[in-house]
Chains A and B, each alone.
Chain A
C-alpha cells in the first residue's frame, strides 16, 4: 500500500492553502451573487423601463454643437456671427441604399454629377453610427418644398435648421479674420472626437483658426428616444453646450474701409497699428475675396477662379507678402549706426552720386545720379540718400547690422495672434553659408543699408519696425484680438525692448522722418504740406526686376506688372504717435507719390475730427516741444 507522499512542511502549507482557497471560493461566490443581483436589478426590477425603451424605440445620444463665439470689431460691430440656415442631412444607417438616395436627391434638386460626388465624399466623412451628416447647405424655399414632396423616396434624409457661420462684412476681413470650413480628414485625426462630435466646421485661417479653441466652446448632448424610423420622440436628458467665447478685435471697420478706399482698387497692403498698445487698427490686403462661400463649401470652379487669378486675391500680402523693404528701413539703419557709434548726428559723407568700395570699380549708385553733396544724418533720411547709407552699412559690417535689424523684428515673426505669418529674412554670414555655401561679400552689406539685397520683410514687419521708432524701442507684438470674453490676450514670448546707449538717437531718426514730410527738400513734402498735423514718414521702393549696372530705370520700357512696388511707412502725430501706417502698393513705383497719400488718408481718418482738426485727445502734450527742451508741466 503506497502512502500519500509527504514533502517537507507539506502538511502545514497544504492547510494554509486550503484555508486560502476556501476564503477565495467564498469571496467569489459572494461576488457572483452580486453580479446576479445586478442582472436581476436590470432585467427584472428595471425590466419595464428598459423594455419600453427598447420595444419600438431606441435611445440615442446626440451631441449638441456649441454656438461658435462671435467676432466683433473694436467698436462692437459684428464681423462674424452665426445664422440659421437650412441644411440637408443624410443618416446613412437609415437610408438603406444611401447611394441610391443620393441619386434621388440629385434628381429632385436638379443638381450636377459633380455635386453628387461632393455629397458622397461628405457622407463618407460621417464619424459615428446614426450621425446625420449635412450634405447640402443653405437650401432655398423651393428646394425645401421639392424635398418635402419627395420625402417618401428619401429615407434617412432630413432638412434641419443649423447655425452656420456668416461674415456680414464679406471681403473686408477675409485676410485678418479668416473663415471656417468643413473639417477635413487630416484635421479630424487631430481633433478631440468628443468636443467636435456635433461640429462640422473648424477655423481654417486667420483669427478663426488662431483662436479656434476659444471660439469653439464645449459640446453638449441629449439622450433622446427615437422611434424605429429615427424620429425623436422625447428627450430623456439634456446637458447644454457651452457657447464659444466672443472675440473683440482691435480692428476698426471704418478705418478698414478708409484704408481699402485709399488704395483705390490697386493691389497692395495697408497695416495700421496703435504703437503704444500694439493693436492693429486696420489690416488690408487687396484684392480680397468673400469668405462666405468657403463656409458652406465653395464650388470647385469658383475656387479655381480665385486660386488662378493673376491678382491673387487669396494671397495675404500683409502677412505673407515678402518685399525688400527698400528705403523704408533707413531710419532704423540710422538708429543702428548711431547706437553702434559709426556715425554721429553731425558726421557727414560726401555724395558724388555713387559710392565705391576701396579697390573696386563697381559703382553703387545713389537714386539721384547728380549727387547730394555733403550729407549728414538728417539730410540722409530726408533725401533718402543712398550713398550715406552705403557708407554707414560698410562701417557697421554685416554682423552688427544683422543684430540690430533682427531686434527691429526683421526676419522673425512679430505678431501675437496672426495665423501663418511669414518670418521674412534678415541675412547673415551663417545664413548665406548655409543657403548658398558662399562667404559674405562686403558689397552685399552695402545694399542691405538701403534695404535691398537678400533682406525681405512683410508690410506688417515694416509697420512694427516703424512703430518701434515711434515708441522709442518699446516692443509690443502687434495683435488682432483686443479681448477674448473680456480678458486681454497674453504674450507668452515677449520680445525685449530695444534700449539704446542714448535714447536721443530715436529723436534723430524721427526728425529725419519728419523732414521727409515737412522739410523743404523732403521726398514726400507734397503730402506733408497738406497735413493738419506733423507726420514722420519714409518712402521706399521694392524692386521687382533687377536693373543692370549702368542701366537706367525707364518706366515706359517696363511692363506694368514688372514695375517696382511702392512702399511707405509713417506715424503721426510725430511727437505724440497715435497711429503707425505701413503701405505697400504693388507695381505702384513711387513710395512718396503713391504710398504716402494712402498713409495720410488712413491717418486723417483716425486722427481728425469732423471739422478736419486734430482730435483733442491726440494733441501733443505741452505743444510742439523742440528737441532737447525740457517740457515744463503747468
Chain B
C-alpha cells in the first residue's frame, strides 16, 4: 500500500485499468479511507459506551448517525467535483444568508442560538454547512485564478472567509468560527500564499494584540482573556474540567485501567465526558497505547487525504482536498490539546469519537468529497 511514498506519482494506464475493475472504484469509494473510518467508528462506539455510563440509547443514536453519515458520504462521492464546483457559490450565499437569519433570530430570542428550527420539518446548524462550504468556496474562487494568488485575489478570499467567521462569532460560537476561519485559510495556504505574506500577517497580529492589551481592553476583559489562556486560574469555572481531565488522563498510565473500568471520568462527573472531553475517558481506560493508536489512525487518514490532494487532477479538487484534510487535523489537534491542558478550552469535538450526530455527518460528508475527488479522476483522464 503506497500511502505516503507516492506523492509524485502520475496516473498510468495500468492504474486506470486496474481501478476500473474494482467494485469499490465503481461505487466511487476509496477503500483506504473507508477502512480507516470504519475502524474509528467501531472504536468510538466502544469509548462512547463507557463514557456515557453504558447508555445504550445514546449508543444507538450515535450508531444511526454514523449510518446516515456513511450514506451521505457515499451519495456525495457519486457527484463529480466539477458538478460540485458549479453549485458552490450558490451554496455559499445560502449559507451566509442562513447565518444572518440565525443571528437575527438569536438576538430576538435574547440568547445564543445556533440552530435553524422549522418545527416538524427540519432542524440544523447552518454553521455546520459552512465547515464544508468555506474551503469549497475558496477553492472554487482560487482555482479559476493563477497561482500563487495575487494580492487582490487574497483580499477577496479573506473577505469571503471573514464574513461567515464574524457571523458565527456573533452567535456566539468561538470554536466553530475558528475552525471555519482555519478551513478557509488552509485553502489559501495550499494555493501557495506567499511565505512572506504569512510571515507578515503573523508579524502584524503580535503588535496589534499587544496594543489592544494595553490600550483597548478593560481589566475585566483582560481577566477573561487570561482565564481563557490559562483555565486553571479559574478552578470553579473553566478550570474544573481541565483539572479533572488531566487527572483522568494521567491516571490511565501506559496501558490504561481497562474498558469500563475508568474511575475519574465516571464517578467524578467529568462534565461533557461523552462529548468534547471524551479523549479523557479513552486515555484513562486505554492508556498511552490507546491514545497513540487513535493518533495513528488520524495520521493515516490525514496522510491519505494529502495523497488524494496531490493526486487530484483539477486545481479545485487539489485545493478542496487539501483544505478539508488540513481542517480535519485542526479538529484533532485543538481537541486533544485542550483536554490535555495544552490549549485554551474551545468547544471543539473530537472527530468521530465525540458524541454528536451533526458533526459526524458533516465530517463523513467531507470525506465523501475527498472520495469523489479521488475516484472521478479517470473520467477526466479519458476525456
Contact = CB atoms under 8 A, between A and B. Distances in A.
A454 interface: no
Contacts of B192: 16-17, 20
Main secondary structure of the interface of A (DSSP, over half): helix
Given A35-B333, A39-B291, A197 B315 contact: no
B288 A17 contact: no
A42 B237 contact: no
Nearest to A31: B333
B243 A43 contact: no
Interface string B167-195: 00000000000000000001001111000
12 contacts: A4-B381, A5-B313, A20-B322, A24-B306, A36-B295, A38-B340, A39-B283, A39-B340, A43-B250, A43-B287, A47-B251, A49-B250
A626 interface: no
A47 B147 contact: no
A129 B269 contact: yes
Nearest to B244: A59
Contact of A7 (B243, B264, B299, B315): B315
Interface in A4-60: 4-5, 7, 9-10, 12-14, 16-18, 20-22, 24-25, 28-29, 31-32, 34-36, 38-40, 42-44, 46-47, 49-51, 53-55, 58-59
Given A5-B380, A21-B306, A130-B269, A35 B251 contact: no
B121 interface: no
A221 B235 CA distance: 8
B318 A14 contact: yes
Contacts of A31: 329, 333
Interface stretch (B7-15, B96-104, B355-363, B368-376): B7-15
A22 B251 contact: no
Contacts of B27: none
B246 interface: yes
Given A24-B326, A49-B250, A51-B251, A194 B237 contact: yes
A51 B322 contact: no
Interface residues of A, number: 52
Interface in B212-253: 234-237, 239-240, 243-244, 246-253
Contact of B319 (A17, A29, A39): A17
A486 interface: no
A608 interface: no
Contacts of B252: 43
A38 to B, nearest CB: 5
A21 B4 CA distance: 11
Contacts of B253: 43-44, 47, 51
A240 interface: no
Contacts of B234: 194
A63 B236 CA distance: 7
Nearest to B295: A32
A219 interface: yes
Contacts of A58: 247, 264, 267-268
B317 to A, nearest CB: 10
B13 to A, nearest CB: 6
Contacts of B4: 25
Contacts of A40: 288
A221 B4 CA distance: 51
B309 interface: yes
Nearest to B322: A21
Contacts of B302: 25, 28
B134 interface: no
B112 to A, nearest CB: 15
